[in-house]
Every structure is written in C-alpha cells, then in structure tokens.
Amino acid sequence: MTTVPASDTEPPTVRPATRSDLLAIHRIEKASFPQPWPFSAFESYVGEPGFLVAAADDDDVSVLLGYVVADTVPNHGTPLGHVKDLAVAPDYRGQGVGRTLLERAVEVLESVDAGSVKLEVRITNEAAISLYRSFEFEHRRTIPNYYGNGEDALVMMRTLDPE
C-alpha cells in the first residue's frame, strides 16, 4: 500500500462516501477497532448524508484518510443525531482529520434539524474523548460492558444550536 502524506497546508477533502470507498473504509475500520463493523454495515449507509470520508489527493491518487457515519433517529418531534462510527487511518492520526470529519458530521446533523447529538466511546479511548470534549460533548452516562470484550462505554451528548 502506498501512503500519501496529508498536506500540511490544506485540510483534507470531505465528501459523501461512495460504494467505491467501502473497501478502504473497511480496512480503516479493521485497523482501528478490536470489534470492527462488518462490511455490510457500511453498505447500508451509502447515500446517507452523514456518511462522509476525508481524502487527500496527490499526483492524481486519492487516499482515504478516514470516515464518519452519523444519522438521526426520531426523538419526541426533534431528531436526535447519532455519531455511530468515526475512524482515521493509523498513518494520519493526530493531523486533524478526525476533527474535520466530526465538524462536518455535526454540520450535517444541524442541517437536518437535530436538536442534539449523542455518541458512544470506549472509556479507555482518551484521544477520542478529548476530541469530543473539545466539541462540547459531555459525559451523560456510562454503559457497563457495552463492548464485546466487557469494556464500558461513555455516552456523550451535545446540544446543537437552533437557528
């Protein structure tokens, strides 16, 4: 696999995920999580506005840097946003890719009038928790044994600004 360094001057391009991105997305998923989503789970989100990828282009080669899956569920008349999955390829972590993806996902959720956004994160994933806190997500509760290995999850929420 050829890796292309993310540009120091330009943020990655964020665009809707396409079917042709799925293999690269699944590779990032498997490299990121001990219990990765199955390939078919990603297939079901293709075409959804909150399924986004970050990519960098170099010499006509597009490299997928990361992705986010976010959607809404009905919630007493005001949709509740849910960031279901967010991952950055190991070679591109710490370069702001996750921040860019989360920012765009929140914008998508705001555009469909979600009143708030929730997510679950492993209690040991300090980098992700720090990112979410920087976006004003707050810990609301802990779900014991949420993950298959028995690890707890933090449920974090953020209220969105009504326009």
| 73 within some domain | yes
Strands 80-88 and 116-122: parallel
pTM of the model: 0.90
Give the domain extent around 54: 13-159
In a domain, 1, yes or no: no
Dihedral (CA of 10, 2, 128, 153) sign: positive
Residue 3 covered by a domain = no
Q: Does residue 99 fall inside a structural domain? A: yes
Q: How high is the pLDDT of residue 76?
A: 85
Mean pLDDT of the residues in the chain: 91
Tally of structural domains, the chain:
1
pLDDT confidence band for 161 (50 / 70 / 90): confident
Does residue 27 belong to any structural domain of this protein? yes
* Encoded tokens for 162: 């009504």
Quick: pLDDT tens for 94-153: 999 999 999 999 999 999 999 999 999 999 999 999 999 999 999 999 999 999 889 999
**CATH code assigned at 17:** 3.40.630.30
